[in-house]
Every structure is written in C-alpha cells, then in structure tokens.
Amino acid sequence: MFIINCPYCGERDHAEFSYGGEAHLVRPKQPTELSDDQWAEYLFMRKNIKGIQYERWNHSHGCRRWFNLSRDTSNDKIHSVYKIGEKPSE
Amino acid sequence: MSNEYRLSSGGQINRSEIISFKFNGKILYGYKGDTLASALLANGIHLIGRSFKYHRPRGIFTSGVEEPNALVQIIKDEAKTDPNLRATQIEIYEGLSATSQNCWPSVKFDLGSINNLFSPIIPAGFYYKTFMWPASLWKNVYEYFIRKAAGLGKSPTKKDPDMYDHNYYHCEVLIVGAGPAGLVAAKTAANAGKRVLLVDERPNFGGNLNFANENYNKINELAPLEWIKKTCLELKNYKNIKILNRTSVAAYHNYNYLIMMQNLTDHLPDKDKKGKIRQRLWKVRAKKVILATGSIERPMIFDCNDRPGIMLSSAVRKYANSYGVKCGNNISIFTNNDDAYETAITLHNKGIKVKSIIDIREKSNGSLPKKCDELGIKIHWKSAVIYTEGYKKINKIHVINLSKDNSSVVGNKLKIDCDLLCVSGGYTPAVHLYTQSGGKLDYNEDKHYFFPKKNTLNQMSIGSCNGTFGLKNIITESHEKTKEFLDIKKTEQFSILEPRSGNFENIWLIPSNKISGKTKSFVDYQNDSTANDIKLALREGFKSIEHVKRYTTTGMATDQGKIANMHALGIISEVTNTKLGELGTTTFRPPYSPITFGALVGRNVGKFFDIVRKTPMHNWHEKYNAKFEDVGQWKRAWYYPSGKESMYDAVQRESKAARSNAGILDASTLGKIDIQGSDASEFLNRVYTNAWNKLAIGKCRYGLMLNDDGMVYDDGVTTRLGENHYIMTTTTGGAATVMGKLEDFLQTEWPELNVYLTSVTDHFATISVCGPHSKKILEKVTQNIDYSDTNFPHMSFKNGLVDKINCRVMRISFTGELSYEINVQANYGQSVWEKCIVAGKEYGITPYGTEAMHLLRAEKGFIIVGQETDGTVTPVDLQMDWIVSKKKYDFIGKRSLYRSDTIREDRKQYVGLITKDPKEILEEGAQIVAEVKNKPPMDMIGHVTSSYYSPNLNKSIALAIVKNGKKLKGKKLYIPMPNKTIEVTVSDTIFLDKEGKRLNA
Amino acid sequence: MKNKYSIFSLIKNSFSYHENWQRAWRDPEPKSQYDIIIIGGGGHGLATAYYLAKEHNLKNIAVIEKGWIGGGNTGRNTTIIRSNYLWDASAGLYDHALKIWENLSQELNYNIMFSQRGVMNLAHNLHDVRELKRRTHANRLNGIDCEWLNVEQVKKFCPIINCSPEIRYPVMGSTLQRRAGTARHDAVAWGYARGADAMGVDIIQNCEVKGIKRKGDSIEGIDTTKGFIKTKKIGVVAAGHSSVIANMAGLRLPLESKPLQALVSEPIKPIIDTVVMSNAVHAYVSQSDKGELVIGAGTDSYISYTQKGTHEIVEGTLKAIIELYPIFSRLRMLRQWGGVVDICPDASPLITKTSIKGLYFNCGWGTGGFKATPGSGHLFAHTIAKDEPHALNAAFDINRFVSGDLVDEHGAAAVAH
C-alpha cells in the first residue's frame, strides 16, 4: 500500500510499480573468472535485511524506468528515492 | 400491530410507515427507522439465537456493530441469503425475513443445548485432550460430529445475483465517525475549505449523542437532536465535503490507504433493490485521517451474565430514546459508573419502572445518581449482581454486598425480580482502526482503558476513541485538535451543558459466593468462553494473551472481541498479577466489521475476471468454428473441427494438410520486440546464447535466452531489419517478462549500450503459411517480392506489399515445411488472412490451430519452452550445444552452465521416444523408468514432455527428458501406467525429414 | 511424567472444576549453558527439540522464542497438509512428514485434529493439465497416493466448484490426494511443546536473540534479552527472520522474506468438505472445524517484515474464490492477517549445516512449511545430532545453490505449496 515517488513521474500508487530486489548488486563483469562459490554468492545469496534496505523498483505501469529507493522493511517506510547510478541521499 | 413494548411516543422512527417482516416464520410489525432488534424488542422478543458451543439461549445485548448474540440469517431465496447478520444493524424493510441460527429444531427448543449439560467436562481446549482413542474412530465418528457442529448461519447455495462495485477516492482529510467528535471536526475542516470525506457506519449521524438525555446535555443551548440536525444541515451546504452514511471503514493500511464498505440497498424493500448496486467498496487515499470512532460500552462479568434480558445500559437507553421501545417493564441496572444513571432517569421519565440500581461503588458525587435518589430509585451501593435466574429470559437477580477491597462478597444475598438487567461496565475506546494503522497504545490505570499513545503526522484520534469522555471535553478537544492538525485559525465557541460525572471503579470479574468452578461467567458470549476458561488456560501455562485467546477462543467470534477483549485482558492481568499496560493487547486485524466477499471483489468476476486478449483474426476463427485454448490471457485458435469432427480427427486432418498442401496459422500472439540503436547487435550478443554480430541485414536467426541461473528462459527468431534495427520474437507466454528482463539489463547493468526496446506485440498481425504450396500462395497475395530461393532463401526476410499495405515477410519455419510469415499492421490482419485463404483455396489451404502446430513441430523435434523445459533444463540438456557460443566472453546464464551440477554428463537430456506399438499414444507427463518393479517406489529417470500420433509418419511419437538420455539412444525404457506398462525405445528427437529437404520443397 | 489426556482425565478433572490440571509446559528461566539451543519456538523448532530429546537422547536443550510459541507462521498459516510434490527429494521429505502426521495425535497425546479430507489441485489450462498429470504419475511411482480427476469427477467430489465451461478459465481437471488435509495449527505447536517439555526441554518465551558469539569457525553461545547463554550447537528455525539471525553470524542465505496473507470468513455450516487449491487463478480454500472458510492469498513481491501485505493481494484472491465458488459472494470476511515467509529461489527449503561449525539452519519453507512440520523437525534433529544430514534432507543442503542442483518446485507449487 505504499506510495512511491517515482523520480521521473512523481507520487504514484504502489500498484503501478514492480519490485526488483536488493539494489547495488553489480553483475560481475567477468563471471567466468569467478569460483562457483563466488557466482552463487552473486546469484542467490541476499542480505534480506530487516531495517533499511536499498532496493530496486520499476515503474512498470508508468514510465517503465528502473530506480532505487531505501525503505525500512520493518515498517515499510520509504526514506529516499534515487535514480540508477545515483547515491542515496542518506 | 401488537408492539406492546412500544412507547406511545418518541424515537426517530416514522410511526406513519408500518413495516411487516418475518422472524422465524412469524409475521411481525415495526416502523420505518427500526432495526430488526428494535422491532423485535417492541414485540417483546429477546431470544434470538443460541451460542456456539453450549447452545445457550441468547438475546439482544447491544444496539450496534458490537453485538455478539443477536445474529440472524436473512432469507430471500437460495441465492440471496445472508448468514450471521446482526439484528442490531439490520434496518427493517417490507418483506424482510429473518431466522435464528445454530439451533435445531427451533430457537426455543434446541437439541444442541444438550451440550450445556456436558459443559462441566468440555472446558476450553477439551478437544485437544480427547477424541484420540481409539485412533480409528477419529475420522468417521469424532471428526464427523465435530465438523457437523461447526458454523453458525448457512451459506447461500446458488450464485449471488447482486452487483457490487468499487470506487477510488482521494481527499485532504477523512473523518471516520460522525458522532459529536466527528461532526465538530468535519465542520471545523469544511468551514476552512478542506476537502473532507465524512463517513459513518450507521444510517444516522450523531452517534451516542442521539440518545443522550436532553435535560442534562445541551450544545450551544440546543438539545442534542437539534444540534445534530443543525450541524448536519450546515455540513451539507459545504461543497467541499462528501458525506457517506452506512459506510464502515474496514481497514486502515499503511500510507493512509483505507478500505470502506458502503451499504447501498440492504435497507430497501425488495422492489427498490432491483437494478441497483448492493454494496460499494471505497478505496480511499487520504492526506490526513481523523479517527472519531467512539467507544464501546462494556458489560459486567458475573455468574450467568448471558441470559436474554441482560443488555448494555446504553443500548436500553438507545432503544427507548431512538426507537421508542422499552426493553422491559421491571428493570434493574448493574453499574460501576454514572452513565447508567442517565439510562435510569431516561427510562423513569418515560414511565418505565426502574426498580433498583446495583452499583459496585461506595458512592458517587455525580449529579445523576443524586437525581435517581431523588426520583426514589433504590440504589444498592457497594453491591454486585452475582447470579441471575431465568432460562430463556431473565426473571431474577441475586444481589450481595462487596467486601471493602472488592475481592469477595459479604452479607446475605438479596433476590430481586426483574425482566431486564441493564449492565454498564464503563466504556472502551474503539482503537481498532488506530492500531491497524500501526499505532501503539497506552493504558490508563485509573480509568482502565487503552488509548492511542500519540498522534502521528498524518492521523489523529479525537473524542472517546482517544479516551476523552464527557461531552464538553469531546467537543472542545475535537475542535481544537482539528484546528491544530489541519492548520486552521478560525475558532468557534461552544457552550456545553453536561451532567457532573462521578468516579469510575472497575472490577474485571465480579466475585461470587460460590466456588469459582461452579460459576459460568461469560466473557465471550458467542463462543461461550468464560472467566474459568481463561483461568484454566493460564493455569495450564498459556501465558501470552494470544495463547489464551487461541486456547479459549475468546475474542475470535464474529464480533472479534469487541465486547470480550477488555475483560479477558483484565482477568489475565488479575490472575497473573501483571499490569495491563505491560500485558498489551491482542492485535486488531482488519476488517473492523465483516465485509462481503462480493464487495471486496466488485465487478471483477465472471466476464470481467480477467481481460481476454484476442488476435486481429479472432472473429474469423470464431466464424469458422475454432475451439480456443487459453495461453496466458490470450485466446488462441486450438483447432477447427469441421462439423461433428472430434478434436483428434481435426488435428490429424490439419497436420496432414499442412505438410501435403498448405496450412495457415495465426501466430499473432508471439511476443514481438522492436530493437534499435547502434549497440543492438552487441545487446543481442549478451542476451542470447549464440553470436549475433555477423548476422547480415535481411537475415533471420533463432535464439535461445537463458536466465542467469543457466536454465532456458525463452526462444524465438530475431530478424535484422537494418544496420541498427532488429525485430525479436518471443514465446506467447514470455512476451511481457522477456521485455521486462531486457529493459532491466539495459537500464541497470548495461546503461552504456545505445539500444531502445519497444514492445510491438499488439501492433502486428502475424500469419504463418506453410506447406509445399505456400510459396505460390504468397506470390498471389503479396507484391514486390521475388520468392526465388536465391533471392529469398530460408531464414531471411523481405519487405513487400499486400495491395497498398506494407508487410514484412519472413521465410522461417516452425513446422519444417517451406514456410512464410506475413507481418502486417494489426488492423489489416483479418483482411490479409482472408486474402491468403482465398488465394490458397485452389491449393487446399487449411487453417490449423495450436494443437496441430505443436504436433508438426514435434515431428521435427523443435522444443516448446515451458513444455520441453521447466526451468531446470539447460541448452546442453536439450542437445542444443550448437547454439551455445564458446567464443563469446559472456551472455546471460553462461557462467551457470559451468557449475559442478550443470556440467554433469548424466543430467536429464532431451530425447525422442518411439512406442513399441505404433498406435500407442503416450500420456504427456507420464514418468519413465529403466526398470519396472512390482510396486512403487520406482526410480524415475525422466518424463514424457510431448506426445502425439503423427499422421504424416503413421505412428505415435513422443519427446521426453531422460536422465543420461544422450547415451541411451536405441535403449528400451518403460512407462508404468496405472493399468499397464508401455515399452518405448529412445530415439532421435527429429522424426521427420532429418535433412531438412522440405524447407526448400 | 505429565498427566495423560483422555476423556477420563477430563471427567476426573471436572470433579475438581478443572482446577488441578498441570501446566502443559514449564516456564523456566534460561540456564547458563545448553548442549543445543533451538532458535525459534514455532512448530518446526519445537518439533526439532522434541525429536532431539526423544530420538537422540539429548536432554539439555532449550528452545528460545522471541515472542510466544507458535506465534509466527505456525499460527498464521492455512494448515494445508499434503505430500504430492513433483521431485523425488521433495516427495520424500513431505511424505515422511505426512506419515508422521497420521499418528501424531496419539504420539503426542495431544489431539492436533489432523483431518484427512483430501486436497485437490485444479487445472485451468493445458499447461496445468500436463504439469499436474506429470506430478500425479511421479507421485504414484513414488508410492504417494494421488489421483487425477476429470471435470465430472471434480464436480462429484466437490459439487460447489463452478465447473462451467463458460468461465474465464474453466476447470479442466484436478489432482486429488486423499491422505492430505488440514490440522489445527496451534495444537501442533502446543502438542510438541508439551511433549518436549516433558522430556526436559526448556522452552523460553519472550527471549529475543541479540547476537551469536563465534570463536573462529565455531559457536560459543548466544546473547539474548535474558543474558548470554553458552552452547556449542545452534539450530535456527526462525522462518521469516532466518536472515536476521544469519546476519548476526556473518552469513548470507539465499532467502527473501515476503508478506503472505490469509483470511477467514464468518463461520457457516459445513459447505466444503475438502481442500481446494488452484494455481492458475490463485486461490485456495478449506473450512475449519469452527465453520470459517479459510482462504489463502499469495505473497507480495517485495521484502517486508511488517506481517502486513497489500489489499490488492487479498482482493485478487477473493476474486478467484468467487469465480470458482459464486455462492460465496454474500459471505463476509471476518479477519485477515499476514505473516512473513522466507522463500528460496527454487521454492524448496534448506535443512542444512553451514560453514560455521555447530550452526544449522532450517528455513526457506516459503508459503508451505506447515505441512512439513513433523518431518522437518525430525530430520533437522537428526542433522544437528549427527552433524550430517539424514538421507531425506541431503538434497536440501545450502550447497545446492553453489552446485546448481536445485529442487525447483515452482512448477508444482500452487500459490502456497
């Protein structure tokens, strides 16, 4: 039931967006050079944080742009919204 | 009409409009404005139903949403019947028919009440302790009877004919509750120009002020009803306020998102309901929310406090003042506060005899008790009701003095005759919505209630739901706090008259002169849980409130503990010697009061359950008798039976025609993504397993897409339209997710790539024409295309025209036949399709559906993603190593192909199967073993993914995924079916035209 | 020895007005040291402690629970029990549990009201039919009862399902596992707690774990709100909060914790005598012994520990319910709630050792852990006691995410699986 402030469109109901998981997990540039363990770490292992999480959202029923936000997963409060490539404000 | 309990005057009912209704088959009368409860009481009827467990007689206890006892079934017919409705909320209408519930054969004589006799051996949680021996009796005896006893009312047995809908609403401030607090807040806000939504679950506004005694309560010199009327009129004149009655807020979600249900027609006579929406669900986003949800009067907990004729004091006052109904002729009142005295005075003034007031307090310095004393009503101070008599209706109370510390009783008991006992245990703020929103509670140790701890930025509570009592406090607080909350400067002055109120004293469980084991002091009336049940739970170690609640079922009835919860908590706190504030409450869960599934669902059922996606040629398919298959939201032509032809025969005919003459398939549902930009080739390199930079303009290539876990995700043909321009096709089901995934990678992982994606699935109609005559048909239909093999070889594309319409023609094949795909702008789809049909007539062109398409591709061993694959299959498993580039540095999924499990040689692999008996068609999904055993378990080494009878090969063929399948070619395997075992031989996956000659036939 | 529960003990106790019943379990303060500490007092955790004590003769065990036992997903789920899983590893695991369920009331001397009224999984399109038949065949050859019903048989077995071919996604058939059913969720936690307590297990409620103390690659103990407790072995059975505990130990798990919602209607007289699940239209329903329709919704897509999901999920579920059972439209939702479910990428659980010696995890049950409770506890107890997995949970090791040998149950899973 969030309201998400899309950095491109403004405040919209959460139903317009889709969730894209933990943010700032950079896909390795050279996957073939990773061990199975390291690859599994990237592919599957997650912090799954209870507290402030940096996460990806897509305005899938709007501008279709991906962006990041920080949200407290213990109360669903959104603290900041920022574009891909930007740093969170806090 | 009899109405012997109707007062000669008074009430907000319309005495000129008499309404007849039925209760348990008997015709009764009431007035417009009555609730079912008030009308029944006017007819002297208290006994409404039976409790859940002991089937004890139960009467009307309250006058509103908190009613635990008076539940009825409304019956119109098998489709329109509503179980578990509260008689206190049903507004009567002409034709209303209600019955009692959970009783057989009747509410007056209920065989289930035998449970009451067994009550000594069936305390809380008894079922956990028994019915275990012998185990064999559980299913057919014990469980059978337990389940038979389940439930209260009955479900309809026919489809609901009523309509429901949804409404979305945005406002600056939502005010929940239109009692005095809500009305003052609404006026303050509306007057300052705020966009206000004011809602109340009741038909009339004013809340409890509606039945306040007008001699003791005045606002700005006006009697309560006059003030309410005036305020409501003023509110209606503001353009910036929307007012909804009969609208209950069900849920208060995060970010001020509230769900409300509005009842639109339930109160109307049947003839006026027709064609109207029954209920409407409102989804409200409010910038700010003001909760003015009021408070709920508490009962008193003492031995046999559950008999019909025991009612909340405020309810009795309301029935008298608002409905002109007296609930009894010989009344006693049991209280711990001054509010009940207002009831006494009101009744007395209406000529109803109030015989005695039993008050647990030593005294009260309030003005109302003093008045009662003056009126000659006998007040038993420092006393308690400890028992009641009367099975189906109370006829006597036992009264006794309380010890100094209220922990026991002293002296001799006094028996008082009565036909009604009003109980008043003080008021509990209705904090349900506040806590749903995440608000925390504080406990007031003096006044014994939980109240909102603090108001947050976007919501606040006012009035008695905030723990503010007394008319003056409520009005002042509501006005002042609303001003502050909404940043309003204008002030209104109020002059309030209210009675001086005495102190409040609380006893959670009234002591008894009996040993406690012999008492039945009900806490949750509907579920029959008693104070002893709660004590038993605590004794057995169920310490947490939630444990006690679940073990005893207290608070889990249809009123969700509106009446029971506070006393349950109080008793726990007393027994465990824990402060209530530390004990906390159970969680209040939505909805505040029950809402119909119908309203929650709205119009989204039946034909609106899900959208239907149709191709541009859909009407043609329908006209030619196509049967359709659901693929995601798409309707795809499945097969075209001719006359009474069976599906099998139709598919065989279509498949044969496609290879011997010409077939035509509607392939418009395939996903289509337009890819443009200077890095388009590099992009494709990264998303597909094979290499793309060398694909010439005008050429087509098949691609396989993996997930990063290495498993096959999608496939399709992509065509290079220009230097920096491609069109990709995806599977029908995968179109949206592939598009999403590609966008994701492009925007977040590879922002350096200059690539633009556009979904064009719906923009093009795709017509696939295959078979030896396909070229001749295409030559007739299109212009400006040279179809010679040298100019237009397999896996290439040409732009052309169909008359004046631009088209793209790809020479690609999913059937293994010479085959062309015509893509035209979607709105020309059907006309081009029809042109092909006309042009192909002389060649015997035959439309074929998805089933024949699946058969034809299986003859060629082409996979279908999602049928041959299930998210656990790699391209290597599919024996498609050829499409996995070894040279490319990376592509999505590449790394995962080299993990210890994915590089295993003996993984499950894609193979063909030939049955020993060529007529035997395997079942898709059947499991394969190498060795048959007499009985399970057997080692399964794979399963059949696709299976058909091939009309072109005259034998059955099947595709399968089999462990180590690559090495099993020629080996015999077995398929144990329930009734037989089928022998198969592992074969190549390509059954027809291995050399691919037909592509150029 | 605890006093035995029976109709006779109820009658006997009625003479003393039930004032002499013993506590179902003690309420001890934590000792300074335990041989094994189980973090999480849900059904799985309590069952683990029970089997550690019963089958491995270990007595110095504590179950540490942040809130009240059974208060997490054990007390929030829709209590469906079945074992008709696709893959051998899953079928083995869940049928192991189902076999224990069948005698659990007697074993625990606590009636957990296991009701074998059958579970149906409906098919609504050709893909469903193919996948469900595949599952039915696999179950049969694994020795698990499961049968395929055509539309007429569906209608006969559960007449109130709307089997009209005119609906948007018509019912095309169904699987039926007759041994499957439901149980009383609270009773499972309570029964195991009572049984474990009787064997000396300390059940410590209202005690939150604040940290895990490690020495190199082994465990020294846990910091809790009731102080430090020494131990060499920790079994974490914390469901949605598994990652929180893992993070304390410096581990990451392949989990995401998401809201899952459920709801009940007001109680009505018996109307549906089986459990019906539908994957394609996302709804499942059964009727409780109280008469409430118990309806499960799906998960939200995002991580949240709030125990609250979005309204749209509930609405979407009810939409499917009304499509399949148009007669339920006038019934009313009495209560809705949410839980936090920990989901693995392959929709299968973890019952596993970790890279830290003495630290074990049992998690990732996603939307369907309740059905596994007895089996999960039994196998996890084995894994902890022997420091190696039982044959039945070897496939559920965390290393499968490294090797790629996943147990992908997405295909066979309904909304809750």
B191-201 pLDDT per residue, tens: 999 999 999 99
The residue of chain C with its CA nearest to that of A15 is C312
* CA B112 and chain centroid, separation: 33
pLDDT of residue B859: 98
Decide if pLDDT at C127 tops 50. Answer: yes
Other C-beta atoms closer than 10 Å to the C-beta of B981 total 10
Helix (H) or strand (E) holding C293: strand C293-299
The pLDDT score that the predictor gives to residue C132 is 95
pLDDT at position C86: 95
Q: How far apart are CA B550 and CA B122, in angstroms?
A: 16
Q: CA angle, corner C145, sides to C139 and C149, nearest 5? A: 90
Q: Are A47 and C402 inside 8 Å of each other by CB? A: no
Closest chain A residue to C246, measured at CA: A47
Please state whether B400 falls in left (phi above 0), alpha (psi between -120 and 50) or beta.
beta
DSSP-derived secondary structure letter, C225? T
Check residue B648 and give its pLDDT: 98
- CATH class for domain A3-83? alpha beta
Q: Chain B contacts of A32, Cβ < 8 Å?
A: 889-890, 894-895, 898
Indicate yes or no: CB of C267 within 8 angstroms of CB of B152.
yes
Say yes or no: A3 contacts chain C, CB-CB below 8 A. no
Contacts of B899 in chain A (CB under 8 A): 36, 39
Q: Which two tokens stand for residue C342?
A: 């920990």
Asked if residue B724 lies in contact with residue B680, where contact means CB atoms within 8 angstroms, the answer is yes
For chain B, the straight-line distance linking the first and the last C-alpha, in angstroms and rounded, comes to 93
Alpha-carbon span A2 to B254, nearest angstrom: 7
Phi/psi for B644 (5° steps) reads: -95, 20
For an interface test with C, give the residue of B118, B132, B261 to mutate (most C CBs within 10 A).
B132
- Asked whether residue B948 carries a pLDDT value surpassing 90, the answer given is yes
User: Which residue of A14, A43, A46 is in closest CB contact with C310?
Assistant: A14
Say if the Cβ atoms of C331 and B937 lie within 8 Å: no
- The C-alpha atoms of residue C7 and residue C348 are separated, in whole angstroms, by 40
Q: Which helix (H) or strand (E) holds C91?
A: helix C88-101
Residue C413: band (very low, low, confident or very high) from pLDDT cuts 50, 70, 90: very low
Among the partner residues A37, A41, A46, nearest to C256 by beta-carbon distance = A46
pLDDT band at B1 (very low <50, low <70, confident <90, very high): low
A-facing residues of B in 284-313 (CB < 8 A) are: 285
Give the tens place of pLDDT for each residue, B443-458.
999 999 999 998 777 9
Q: What is the ipTM of this complex?
A: 0.98
Identify whether the C-beta of residue B615 lies closer than 8 Å to the C-beta of residue B629: no
Whole-angstrom Cα distance, residue C271 to residue A15?
34
> Which pLDDT band, with edges at 50, 70 and 90, does C411 fall under?
low
Bridge-based pairing state of the strands B257-263 and B277-291: antiparallel
Which residues in A have their CB inside 8 Å of a CB on B? Answer: 1-3, 13, 18, 20, 26-27, 30-32, 34, 36, 39, 43, 56, 58, 60, 64-66, 75-76, 84-85
What phi-psi label fits residue B6: left (phi over 0), alpha (psi between -120 and 50 degrees) or beta?
beta
Q: Which residues of B481-507 are buried (b: 16+ CB within 10 A; e: fewer)?
A: bbbebbebeeeeeeebbbbebbebbbb
Mean pLDDT for all residues in chain B: 96
Model pLDDT, residue A90: 58
Tokens 């043909």 label which residue? Answer: B717
Q: Decide if A1 and B740 are in contact by the 8 Å CB cutoff.
A: no
Residue ranges of domains in chain B, CATH in brackets: 14-115 (3.10.20.440), 164-295+429-497 (3.50.50.60), 299-396+407-425 (3.50.50.60), 513-578 (1.10.10.1100), 671-843 (3.30.1360.120), 859-1000 (3.30.1360.120)
Helix or strand or coil: residue C392?
helix
Which residue has 């949970």 as its token pair? C393
The percentage of residues in chain B with a pLDDT greater than 70, rounded to a whole number, is 100
d(CA B626, CA B648): 14
Q: What is the pLDDT of residues B528-570, one digit of tens each?
A: 999 999 999 999 999 899 999 999 999 999 999 999 999 999 9
Strand order in the sheet with B712-722: B700-706, B712-722, B725-730, B671-676, B756-759
Q: Does B253 touch chain A (CB under 8 A)?
A: yes
Beta strands C256-265; C233-236: pairing state: unpaired
pLDDT, position B148: 87
3-class SS of residue B458? coil
CA distance A13 to chain C (A): 11
> Quick one: which of B441, B125, B584, B432 has its CA closest to C67?
B584
Residues composing chain C: 417
* Tokens (6 digits) for C405: 């040998």
Phi, psi of C5 (to 5 degrees): -90, 130
Q: How many Cα atoms sit within 13 Å of B105 on the Cβ side? A: 0
Whole-number percent of chain B with pLDDT over 90: 94
What is the distance of C-alpha B378 from the center of its chain? 53
Radius of gyration of chain C (CA): 21
Q: How far apart are the first and last CA of chain A?
A: 23
CB contact A55 to C (< 8 Å) = yes
Identity of the residue in C243, C304, C402 whose CB atom sits nearest the CB atom of A47: C243
Searching chain C, which residue's CA lies closest to the CA of residue A2? C310
Distance from CA of B257 to the nearest CA of A (A): 7
If one counts every other C-beta atom within 10 angstroms of the C-beta of residue B175, the result is: 31
Check CB contact under 8 Å for A43 and B255: no
Q: Is B168 on the interface with A (CB under 8 A)?
A: no
Query: Contacts of residue B747 in chain A, CB cutoff 8 Å?
Result: 65-66, 84
Query: Above 70 in pLDDT, residue C412?
Result: no
Instruction: Give the chain B residue nearest A86 (alpha carbons).
Output: B748
What is the value of pTM for the model shown? Answer: 0.96
Beta pairing partners, A67: A57, A83
Question: Cα separation of B578 and B570, whole Å?
Answer: 10
Burial class (CB in 10 A: 0-12, 13-18, 19+), B444: middle
Whole-number Cα distances in Å, B481 to B291, B293, B478, B485, B585:
12, 15, 5, 6, 27
Contact A55 C304 (CB under 8 A): no
pLDDT at B434: 96
> Is the pLDDT at B634 greater than 70, yes or no?
yes
Closest CA to B531 of C57, C17, C125: C17
SS3 category, B330: strand
Residue C181: predicted pLDDT: 97
